[in-house]
Structure 1
Amino acid sequence: MKTQLTALGMAIGTLGASLPACAQNNNTLPTVSVTATSLGSLGLDQPSATGSRLGLTPMETPASIATLDADAIAERSITRAQDAAVQLPGLSQAPEPGNGGSSLSARGFAGHSSVAQMIDGTRLVVAFGTVTYPFSTWPLASVDVLSGPASVLYGDGAIGAAVNYVTKRPVFDRTEREAFLSYGSFNTVQGGVGLRGPINEVAAYSVYVDASKSDGERRDSAYERQNYALALSLRPSRDLNVTLSLDGGRNNDARYYGTPLLPDGSVDKRLIDTSFNVGNALVRYKDDMWRAKVEYRVNDDVQLHNETYYLTAKRHWRNSEDYYFDDSGTQVVRDSFLEILHDQKQTGNRTDLSISGTLGGLKNQLVAGLDWYRTTLLHTNNSPYVDGDSVVDPYKVVPGVFDSLSPTAPGRHSALSNTAVFAEDVLSLNPQWKLVAGLRRESMSLEYDNLRTKVNQHQKYSPTTGRLGAVWSPSSALSVYGQFSTGTDPLTGSLTLPAGATNVELTRGRQVEVGAKGALPAIRGQWTVAAYRIVKDHLYSQDPLNPDLTQQIGKQSSTGIELAVGAEPVRGWTIDANLAALRARYDRFDEQQDDGSLISRAGNTPYGVPERTANVWSTVRVASQWKLGLGARYVGKVQYDAANEGHLPSYTVLNGSVAFAYSPATSVTLSVNNLANKVYATSGYSYLWLLGERRNAQLTVRSSF
């Protein structure tokens, strides 16, 4: 990382001297920027690239789009990217230690294979259910969510939602310098610096770096993280802009894999701060993403965009990952001694052409393009994970060391190539009505090699997905819409195939959604409401007539409603709130038991999916320099398994903050998370829970200079 930072810094520092004299001429009039003030906090009147490539605002788009910008993220003292995402309607955590807690749930579908995550619209391909980047919110301008099937924009693996982490990019019209430093509970230290602005008329830069370190609330909750987002923009003419960027992170993450439950299914509060992992456990992530983006305005009606990128992701896990009390209830058994390494590379290019004009005398805009990527994964492990079981005294844990007789060696290699053509179009029938349509055709080829058995599997997919919707805007303060959309998900992960599977198809999803969005001028606010039904089929399920035969005959669905409001009812008092309620069910799903018999799970709730979530955050300004904030997050119960034999309890977590504006450029904030010190589980099983953080506080100083 140091070498990469130095190289980019030298490029930025020498660029001004190498430019033509005409480009360095300062005898020009200053740029004057005029910006409109957005009404409310939902961002409905600001163009969203996450919901469409047509440059539409959420008010003009027939879909549910939500955003949390950098100011709101800072105000709530959110430092982790996924913690910002779950503040938005219908999003919740579905975390596991192995994915850095990054897995999400939306609209009844959970996991990386159903909720896509991107950086600036570039999709991170899922390998064995793990996406671990980005870690930090510091380089982010916003976190945006497109709810419902998003495959028409982002490809396979987005039936539940697509989450887009939008980074801060270079700017030519101003200079920004900012920094923060924070200290808090568990000896947690965080800090970062952000710089961006013009070098001259032709070049601009952005540099955002941050780091954090914590001892954690228990031995294996400690972590160290570093992140960076570096970019250089070149604008040799008013029609051409080229941006080179490097984003990445290093994360020596927590090794806490959960707290075992007592035989009666309860949590022994004496064990909340205890870790049962081995002493030499490790969880490490390293990600680097190079990008080159070209934007060229051919004329007022035609624009060309091209982005080329190269991503490398390295991961290393070594842990005992499973703990449970023995029959006597006095000892804890540790097993699942796993060592796994991922070496993943992804290369891609996306090109699109935007054309504005008329169609049959009506205003029309079309975006069409080509999206290509190839990703490879080398999966190394110590399978079959049968060695290393140990027993420990839960109240006097001796960590011990990782012990497995099975060697760690390369096990599988995957290569996925995908070429997609896509198009979007918006047709303005009149000032009130718009028709929006999208279509995507993909050609995917997966090579899956078992390096130990020498078995090769080759699978091809050619999914076609689309979206068709209409928007009616009787006034600038109201939009009503309806849409039909489709999407696909992989059965397990984009780079995997079920063991022994042949002729595997992608799961297919389709959604019908209606909704409305509007402004509340009297209280300086905005609101949204959406109702939907999603059906997903081609799930793996046993054949009731032949239990030895596994077929893609399963089906599940979800029906729900989402509401959000952001307003300032009284000057100095703001409120943001959202609520999501759904009914998620297996419609057809037969599960094979250990004895070979089949049991139908039809009518059960899919595991890992809460059917109720809600968020509220409110601030009030006291005098001129003080601001108080209070928020709550509610997550409904979550089923352990497809049998619905047990569930994680619902929970509500309260957070608060006190901010003092020392000067227009400097503020000090004391934030407290989990004010009531609630003990709750974010994921788990009938015998093991991954507990959320207990009460913690942090004092943060932010300054612009």
Structure 2
Amino acid sequence: MLSTGSQLSLLAPTTRNLLTLAITAALPSTVLADGQSGTQATNQVQKDIVIIAETYRNTGTKSSLEPEETPQGISVIDQEKLNLRGVSSINEAMRYTPGVNTELRGGSVVRMDQFTIRGFQNAQNFYDGLPLLFNDWNLQPQIDAAAIEQIEIFKGPTSVLYGAMPPGGMVNIIAKQPNHDETGSISASIGSNNLRQTTIDKTGSIAGREDLSYTFTGLARQKDSQAVTAEEERYLIAGSVDWQLTDQTLLNFNLYTQKDPAAGIYNTVPAAGSVFSNPNGELPTTSFAGDANWNVYDRDVTLLGYKLSHAFNDNWTFLHNARVMDADALQKNTYHSGSFAADNRTLNRRAYLTDESSKGFTVDNQLSGRVQLGNIEHNVLAGIDFQRLKSNIKYEDAATATIDLFAPDHHQINPGMTLTNTVYSSDFDIERKQVGIYLQDQIRLGNWVVIAGGRYDDYKSTEKGRKYNAAVNNNIEQTNFSGRIGALYNFDNGLAPFISYSESFEPVGGSDRNGKVFKPATSHQWETGIKFAPLGSDTNFTLSAFRIMKENVLTRDPSGGALDQIQAGEVRSQGIEFEISSDLSDQLSVDFTATVLDMEFTKDNKGLQGKTPVWVPENKATLWTNYQLSNAMRLGTGIRYVGKTQLDAANTRKVPGYTLVDLAMNLDLGAYNSSLQGSSFNLSVNNLFDKRNVSCFDANNCWFGADRTIEATLKYEF
């Protein structure tokens, strides 16, 4: 996790050198082959640690340190919450997470996970600690909720453990893990938009052997999109096998393969008629500005990996985590160029096609150990990771028929049309490499937990080929050091105040008009707060205040031409987050979150100084309650409020906020009839009152939020 001790004198360059020396990396003894955790901290009473797998390590520290003891904001969404709420995507899963604004492109755009964390956009998810390599075009690997054990959101700069990343935070998706317990389930779902879905899960030993266990998930889903004429379709197989080679060595093989023959739409509608008034009336939330004959998104993604965990002794362990990716996506789509014509109903459009392929490799090597020096316990982590992405992008773009959005004809384009020799024609290759070396020391002294860490990254990127009908040969070669330090004090009553400092970086390509190559954009965060997780209690909360500064942002060169840029921009994000989970009684549990966020450009030469970026709500609050009516029935109710956002970068107008209500019900059918033992029924309703809501990038590009959706699932466990 990010971290800094107390108010150390602002980590300037000199302090960075001290921080480098202070690093010796942390990981409490990893889980040993016999399934028990390592020795507990000296003079510290700890809660039992819930072990997900021997190859699992906490997102914020790459250790087994509990989120309640980590001096930084972390939110965890477990499988129980995912199942009860009936979520199918990362965006849906994080609707009730503080500091996160999801579904930036509305309810019909499901092909990518797009959200902001503490105001900063992030499309780079991680899966079991390794990045899901994204080419920044249209080919983003997506992990379906059916294959997920839990989701961990690590708030603030994360480069100290993961390299180049946006400063708001990251999402790490934890896969379902093998288990020797023989369990299985099959479920069938139906619902709104003609939803039909079947899921199967199975875990257990292989051939009754104690050294081999597995997990398997399969899913098939078809449904209509919220937008008229569009459809969504997905098929996936995911699973992994644990092979206990020796008492000290575990080998895991894992696979995730997914095919999406259809994935809804990616089009927008203007603000006039969606957010604001239009002389022709109000656009329906099912509006589609595209064409049914030219709306294709066909994606195939395969992830194949392995993990090797070896315990040298009770104190030292090694984890090797590697994965290859093979992915491709074909897209046919349209976009409108500009706002409505003078009649306030007709849009000029262009048709485009992208054909993308990506091959990637990622590996992370972690050596961790525990060293006891007197009363001080050091949990040391040293690691080196590497990632490489090779991607080819072909793009064509041409003018096509206009559309009357208030009386649309969605069948104007010839599906066999070819797009060639256009002004935006592109065929180029991207190659990116990142090598990172990191160190961390997690120190325990009495009730104190201190984390200090640092990382050096070497990042390279090239673009070669033809881009927008012009030859392109862009190169980025940048290095960066990122650090963090933090401290937390555990009072005996469960209170744990903390303070931390952390850094991150993002590569920036190009140069200024004098040929000076740009530096990476860098960010740093101060965060302080208090966590509360008393022993023997089901209550825990986190209250934190943070301030993130991002420097070296590209902005216009006031002394140069219209396209000349300099690194004089700066963005500030500051706010307060609150998250509490509590069992108020044996029957009633409550989860409440609140976020207040203030974000703006603090330096800029393009007229953005003092402006707030789009997709950043002024405030957000959520409440979810679970009520156990009986041993057989549980009811869940959710309320989520998302505040106003800016319509565009210039902050000319605001998009209204909204409040949505969700419901969930779970019935254990076996409690009503013994012949139905193992059967359950789950009903989830999102946006119960069908509240209209919209998000916007600017006045010409807005998206409708998800309408009311109902999903009913019948599940049998065996």
- TM superposition score normalised by structure 1: 0.87
Query: Equivalent residue of 2:101, what SS?
Result: strand
Matched with 1:75 is 84
Q: Classify 1:98/1:702 alpha carbon distance in 2 versus 1 (closer, same or farther; 3 Å).
A: closer
Q: How does 1:5-404 map to 2 (within 5 A)?
A: 46=50, 49-93=58-102, 95-96=104-105, 100-112=111-123, 116-128=124-136, 130=138, 132-172=140-180, 174-199=181-206, 200-251=209-260, 252-255=262-265, 257-262=267-272, 265-266=276-277, 268-269=281-282, 271-280=284-293, 281-322=295-336, 326-329=340-343, 331-359=345-373, 362-382=376-396, 385-392=397-404, 394-401=406-413
What is the one-letter code of the residue matched to 1:332?
A: T
Q: CA separation of 1:130/1:148 partners in 2, compared to 1, >3 Å: closer, same or farther?
A: farther
Number of the residue aligned with 2:590: 575
Q: Structure 1 regions of 5+ residues with no counterpart?
A: 1-30, 35-42, 592-599
What do residues 42-75 of structure 1 show as CA deviations (whole Å, max 9, x unaligned)?
x996576111113211122111111010011111
Kept after mapping to 2: 8 A contact 1:325/1:331: no
Question: Which range is displaced more, 441-450 or 357-366?
Answer: 357-366
Q: What residue identity is the alignment partner of 1:504?
A: F
Aligned length: 648
| Residues 188, 216 of structure 1: 8 Å contact kept | no
Superposed CA offset, 1:118-176 (max 9, x none): 0011012332255633241111110110000011111102311110110111123x122
Deviations 1:640-668 (A, max 9, x none): 32211123221111111222210262211
- Pair 74,674 (structure 1): closer, same or farther in 2 beyond 3 Å: same
Distance 1:301 1:410 in 2: 54
Query: Equivalent residue of 1:102, what SS?
Result: coil
SS in structure 1 at match of 2:81: helix
Match of 1:694 among 701, 704, 707: 707
Q: C-alpha separation between the residues in 2 aligned to 1:147 and 1:575?
A: 22
1:467 equivalent among 445, 462, 484: 484
Out of 433, 438, 444, the position equivalent to 1:422 is 438
* Residues 373-394 of structure 1: per-residue CA shift (max 9 Å, x gap): 2111111101xx3522524362
Query: In 2, are the aligned partners of 1:627 and 1:660 still within 8 Å (CA)?
Result: yes
Tell whether the 8 Å contact from 1:124 to 1:131 is kept in structure 2 after alignment. Answer: no
The AA in structure 2 aligned to 1:376 is: K
**CA distance in 2 between partners of 1:520 and 1:358 (Å):** 27
Secondary structure of the structure 1 residue equivalent to 2:490: strand
The residue type paired with residue 424 of structure 1 is Q
1:526 has 2:540 as partner: yes
Tell me the distance in 2 between the aligned counterparts of 1:398 and 1:92.
Answer: 32
* CA–CA separation in structure 2 for the residues paired with 1:630 and 1:497: 50
- Residue 677 of structure 1 aligns to a residue whose secondary structure is coil
Correspondence for 1:411: 427
| Aligned counterparts of 1:227 and 1:545: Cα–Cα separation in 2 | 54
Map 1:526-565 onto structure 2 (within 5 A).
Answer: 526-548=540-562, 549-565=564-580
3-state DSSP class of the match of 1:317? strand
Query: What's the secondary structure of 2:574's corresponding residue?
Result: strand
Provide the C-alpha distance between the structure 2 equivalents of 1:552 and 1:94, rounded to a whole number of angstroms.
30
The Cα of 1:545 is off from its aligned counterpart by 3.7
1:397-432 CA-partner distances (Å, limit 9, x unpaired): 24311667544865221111111111111112x221
Q: Within 2, Cα distance between the matches of 1:542 and 1:51?
A: 36
Percent identity between the two aligned chains? 21
User: Alignment partner of 2:97: what SS?
Assistant: coil
Using the TM superposition, give the Cα deviation of residue 396 of structure 1 relative to its aligned residue in structure 2, in angstroms: 4.1
**1:66-123 deviation digits (Å, cap 9, x = unpaired):** 10100111111112222112321111125347772411101121242xxx41001101
Distance 1:538 1:372 in 2: 25
Shift in CA distance, 375/326, structure 1 to aligned 2, threshold 3 Å: closer
Alpha carbons of structure 1 residues 111 and 641: separation in structure 2 relative to 1, 3 Å: farther
Contact 1:220 1:277 in 2 (8 A): no
Query: Is contact 2:266–2:333 with CA below 8 Å preserved after alignment?
Result: no
Equivalent in 585, 600, 620 of residue 600 of structure 2: 585
Residue 691 of structure 2 corresponds to 678
CA distance in 2, matches of 1:688, 1:453: 28
Task: Say what the alpha-carbon RMSD is for the aligned residues.
Answer: 2.6
Shift in Å, 1:603: 1.0
Q: Distance in 2 between matches of 1:438 and 1:130?
A: 34
Aligned residues of 1:435 and 1:471 also touching (Cα < 8 A): yes
Indicate how the Cα distance of structure 1 residues 666 and 109 shifts in structure 2: closer, same or farther if over 3 A, else same. same
After superposition, the Cα gap between the structure-2 partners of 1:357 and 1:570, relative to the gap in structure 1 and judged at 3 Å, is same
Other-structure match for 1:669: 682
Could you tell me how far apart the structure 1 residues matched to 2:639 and 2:511 are? 40
The 3 A distance-change label for structure 1 pair 143 and 221 is farther
SS in 2 for 1:388: strand
SS of the residue 1:275 aligns to: coil
CA distance in 1, matches of 2:384, 2:339: 54
- Whether the aligned pair in 1 keeps the contact of 2:356 and 2:391 (CA below 8 Å) is yes
CA contact (8 A) 2:139 2:328 kept: no
Tell me, in whole angstroms, the C-alpha distance in 2 between the residues paired with 1:641 and 1:482.
Answer: 35
Q: 1:456 to 1:540 in 2, by over 3 A?
A: same
- Judged with a 3 Å threshold, the aligned counterparts in structure 2 of structure 1 residues 360 and 460 are, in CA distance, closer, same or farther, namely farther
TM-score (norm 2): 0.85
Match of 1:616 among 616, 623, 639: 623
Shift of 1:622: 1.5
Alpha-carbon distance in structure 2 between the residues aligned to 1:665 and 1:238: 35
Moved more, 438-447 or 354-363: 354-363
Contact 2:533 2:539 in 1 (8 A): yes
CA apart distance, 1:249: 1.4
Provide Cα deviations, 1:292-313, integer angstroms capped at 9, x if missing partner: 1100111111101112210122
Q: Which has the higher contact order (CA 8 A, sep 6+)?
A: 2
For 2:338 and 2:463, how far apart are their aligned partners in 1? 34
Identify the residue that residue 436 of structure 1 maps to in structure 2.
451
> Aligned partners of 1:702, 1:400: CA distance in 2, in Å?
43
C-alpha contact 1:277 1:399 (8 A) present in aligned 2: no
Taking a change above 3 Å as real, the CA distance of residues 202 and 32 of structure 1, as seen in their structure-2 partners, is: closer
Structure 2 portions without partners, runs of 5+: 1-33, 38-46, 52-56, 671-676
